[in-house]
C-alpha cells in the first residue's frame, strides 16, 4: 500500500539529487505546488508513485494509513492504492512526485 521513509533526503533538498535517485529506481520526478487548504481526494493510479515534500507539509491518507509528510520524507504509494493528500501547512507546499 504505502510506505513512509522519514528523512530520506536531508533538508534543504537538492532536487537534482532526488531526480537522479528516482530515475535510477525507474521513476520520473516533477514538482507540484499547492496553495494552503488544497486537497486531492481518492486518487488511484495504475503505476507506483513516489511523493516527497520539498517545503510545507502534507497530510496523507494511503489506503487506510494516515500520516503527515514533512520535508525530506519519501512516500511510496503502491499502484492501484487509493490515496488523498491535503496541504495542512499555513502557506504553499511544494512537493515532488513521480511514477514508474
**Cα torsion through 25, 87, 85, 18, rounded to 10:** 0
Cβ-proximal residues to 90 (8 Å cutoff; 6+ apart), any chain: 36
Range of the domain at 22: 2-99
pTM of the complete model: 0.93
Q: Decide: helix, strand or coil at residue 24.
A: helix
Question: Which residue, 41, 40, 43, 42, is CA-closest to 93?
Answer: 40
pLDDT at 7 over 90: no
The CA distance from 100 to 89, in Å, is 28
Q: Each residue of 48-94: pLDDT tens digit?
A: 999 999 999 999 999 999 999 999 999 999 999 999 999 999 999 99
Q: For the domain that residue 78 is a member of, what is the CATH number?
A: 2.60.120.10
Average pLDDT, the chain: 94
Strands 93-99 and 49-55: what pairing? antiparallel
Number of domains the chain is built from? 1
Amino acid at each position: 500500500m504505502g510506505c513512509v521513509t522519514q528523512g530520506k533526503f536531508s533538508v534543504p533538498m537538492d532536487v537534482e539529487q532526488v531526480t537522479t535517485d528516482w530515475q535510477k529506481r525507474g521513476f520520473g520526478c516533477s514538482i507540484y505546488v499547492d496553495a494552503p487548504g488544497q486537497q486531492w481526494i481518492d486518487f488511484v493510479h495504475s503505476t507506483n508513485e513516489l511523493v516527497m515534500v520539498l517545503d510545507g507539509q502534507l497530510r496523507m491518507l494511503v489506503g487506510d494509513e494516515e500520516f503527515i509528510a514533512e520535508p525530506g520524507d519519501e512516500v511510496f504509494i503502491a499502484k492501484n492504492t487509493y490515496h488523498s493528500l491535503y496541504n495542512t501547512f499555513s502557506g504553499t507546499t511544494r512537493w515532488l512526485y513521480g511514477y514508474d
